[in-house]
């Protein structure tokens, strides 16, 4: 793990992140340790670790699978704004209906109520960048199937935020409203 820490102390390019994600798995570095590294005192290191973590989930979901519950348990503790972007994207992917059955089973059995609270807080926080808010909208829409109360709350929250946010938020909100209308 010290080797990974050493390599992420400098600026990374996308190809290097993808390479480090693959190397992490080849070197048998634990995904849990990389999750922990996202909370590093140096926010740049935490951000880079989160970026690697996202790449592990996207490109090596099976390696991430045994650590999903741990990721969900620490999700709400993430305070690094740059790492939140990757955390929220990972959670949006985890909660997406197109995930493997094993991922769906974990999400279905997991009590996501505390996560919902965190995601709503991130969504309404004026200091949250639009990319994170976009992932939050996806997470909430995805989980509204499991938690029926989320749908109405999300619609009300979008109504509240629509005039305060950017055009990018408006476009995403429109897409989410359409998704929610399709739900029975």
How much is the average pLDDT of 74-81? 98
Give the pLDDT of residue 145: 94
Q: How confident is the model at residue 1 (pLDDT cuts 50, 70, 90)?
A: low
Buried b (16+ CB within 10 A) or exposed e, 78-111: bebbbbbbbbbbbbbbbbeeebeeebeebbeebe
Cβ pair 154, 180 in contact under 8 A: yes
How much is the average pLDDT of 33-61? 96
Give the pLDDT of residue 173: 95
SS3 at position 109:
helix
Cβ pair 123, 140 in contact under 8 A: yes
Give the pLDDT of residue 184: 66
Residue 91 clears pLDDT 80, i.e. is over it: yes
How much is the average pLDDT of 142-160? 96
Domain locations along the chain: 1-67, 81-184
CA–CA distance from 78 to each of 34, 81, 86, 118, 170 (Å)? 13, 8, 10, 10, 26
Residue 111 clears pLDDT 80, i.e. is over it: yes
Query: Is-above-0.85 flag for pTM?
Result: yes
């Amino acid at each position: 793990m010290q080797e990974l820490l050493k390599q992420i102390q400098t600026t990374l390019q996308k190809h290097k992140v993808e390479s480090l994600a693959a190397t992490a798995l080849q070197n048998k570095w634990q995904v849990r340790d990389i999750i922990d590294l996202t909370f590093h005192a140096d926010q740049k290191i935490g951000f880079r670790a989160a970026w690697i973590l996202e790449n592990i989930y996207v490109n090596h979901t099976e390696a991430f699978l045994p650590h999903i519950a741990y990721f969900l348990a620490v999700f709400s503790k993430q305070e690094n704004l740059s790492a939140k972007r990757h955390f929220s994207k990972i959670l949006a992917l985890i909660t997406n209906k197109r995930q493997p059955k094993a991922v769906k089973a974990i999400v279905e059995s997991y009590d996501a109520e505390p996560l919902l609270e965190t995601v709503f807080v991130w969504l309404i926080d004026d200091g949250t960048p639009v990319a994170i808010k976009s992932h939050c909208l996806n997470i909430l829409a995805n989980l509204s199937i499991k938690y029926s109360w989320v749908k109405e709350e999300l619609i009300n929250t979008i109504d509240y935020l629509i005039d305060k946010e950017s055009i990018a938020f408006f476009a995403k909100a429109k897409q989410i409203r359409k998704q929610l209308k399709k739900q029975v």
